[in-house]
Structure 1
Amino acid sequence: MTNHAPAAADVPTALPAAAATGHTILQVGPVNPDVQAALAGEFGALRLPETRPEREDFLHEHGGQVTVAVCSGRIGVDTELMRALPNLAAIVNFGVGYDSTDIAQAAERGIPVSNTPDVLTDCVADTALALYLDVLRRISAADRFVRRGDWEATGNFPLAVRASGKRVGILGLGRIGAAIARRLEGFGCELHYHNRRRIDGSPYAYHASARELAEAVEVLIVAAAGGPESAGLVDADVLTALGSEGYLVNIARGSVVDEPALVSALVEGRIAGAGLDVFAHEPYVPAQLLDLDSVVVLPHLGSGTAETRKDMARLTLENLRSFLRDGSLTTPV
């Protein structure tokens, strides 16, 4: 699904407009194929070159005309790019996360930003549940055990840990966190959570900090939004509180967890294991994790199903069409 930016020679020199709206649309980085096809065919969007010399030349020539940027959750409109687009009027984001975009600058300049909430909630929650089951029951490690021939050569696989009935903490009880909690109710789990604010009417036990949450549970599932406010929220102290029999699952953003502290805790056995869909410097994964059977690593595929990606593409284009039509966004952040 990865798309590559065109060579500099392929970047349009004339500025196409989006139908008769007078807007000029810019695609920033690779996006979903359905979105890209619509951007090129329906909207005549420009595409930002990825290499610096071509990018600088492009922005010098066209930056002042761009009014709408379309991007993904992984490659947003960062501080430098936003400053190079003085007439930017809206940012349309493919994905629920938008921490790669300079939201503070957008707010200061009155630039609305959209994302694609709800449509990916179930698939991300399913991924969290898959990681939870995998790391506790050691499913991937057992698969490797069989494929290596160890079952035949050495006998039974070592015992795993029961997944049902656990005390589980949800760090970030938003849409996705709540969907994860509902799934874990079916496993008879005792559920706890930490948010910036207590949720009125929640049936789950609230804790005032991430550390207090980790101290109270056996498994900590990270579902908090990314961005500067949550950076390093799960730090060495939180991991120490989780303890040598505790497990971490992260389907949020790699930035939410202090990755060096996590690697150290896993290598030294100061926590029991981790199921990770996200990392601090994707696609780089710390090499120390790759040889640990106590760790399950995924390539950031939380919402990666054909059905969900189609729904996300539909909502992205719905936001774009709405803004071009009347200046409103369907799902503003």
Structure 2
Amino acid sequence: MTHEPVLLQEVMGFLAPLSERKDGVRVLDGTLGLGGYSESILEALPGVRVLGLDRDLSAISHSEERLGRFVPRFRAVHGRFGAMGTLLRDEAPFDALVFDLGVSNMQLTEAERGFSFQHDGPLDMRMDPHGGAPTAAEVLMREGAGELARIFWEYGGERYSRQIAARVEAERRRGRRIETTGQFVALIRELLPAPVQRKMGIHPARRVFQALRIYVNDELGELESMLSALPGLAAKGAVAVIVSYHSLEDRIVKHRFRAWEKEEGRGRVLTRHPIQPGEEETERNFKARSAKLRAFSFS
């Protein structure tokens, strides 16, 4: 499985000062995924220990296999980063905390996970299938048209949110369940006129799938909880690096960093404007096209 960490050089640039520190330096990779960031950190900084956190047990398994050669410098923990204040209380403090808020390649390419509009599979979308959250299919069958329209618009910016939501409700009234990604994509394609789809410039289901994924996994709530816990896990002089992929996430990170600096005096923002990948990286790695990196240094 191919995996290229987004903005890796830029992330490593913010962690470079750790190479001057003595042994005992600790880094939290708060979105372990397939272990790309962790691997680079462990290779570049021999004296550093990395703790990787992820809510996806499949990601934990893959990363532990990939990074087994670094044990005991590397260890993985299963859990949501929104709960890290409790989960990692006894592990703190960390000298650097790194988060990539995107969906992993593993989740997108495994059709049975239900994240991708390009691969037919169960309409699931749960990052932690064992965590008790409803599947995307269950959300479509449970919520009324008004709530679905709100989800599609608020979390995906979908212009046709009301029409798509009304169609979902109509299908439900006819006793037709939408249980697979292919069924949902077909519904959206059938609903939207062909000229509209051509003008969109993206897959017609992209925004709706993003919105459902954010809702199912409470991604914005998780981000808010993570940011609330982060200062309590950071050592003096620690750096926090966060890579986000859509404006909702980036706005939350920007405002929290600004409040830490201006209102709470916790340190300083290292990125007055978000760092974005260059043309070469976006051509090489399509996932990087919307990435924005922000960093903060705790005093």
TM-score, reference length from structure 1: 0.31
Structure with max Cα Rg? 1
Give the structure with the larger helix fraction: 2
Q: Which has the higher contact order (CA 8 A, sep 6+)?
A: 2
TM-score, reference length from structure 2: 0.33
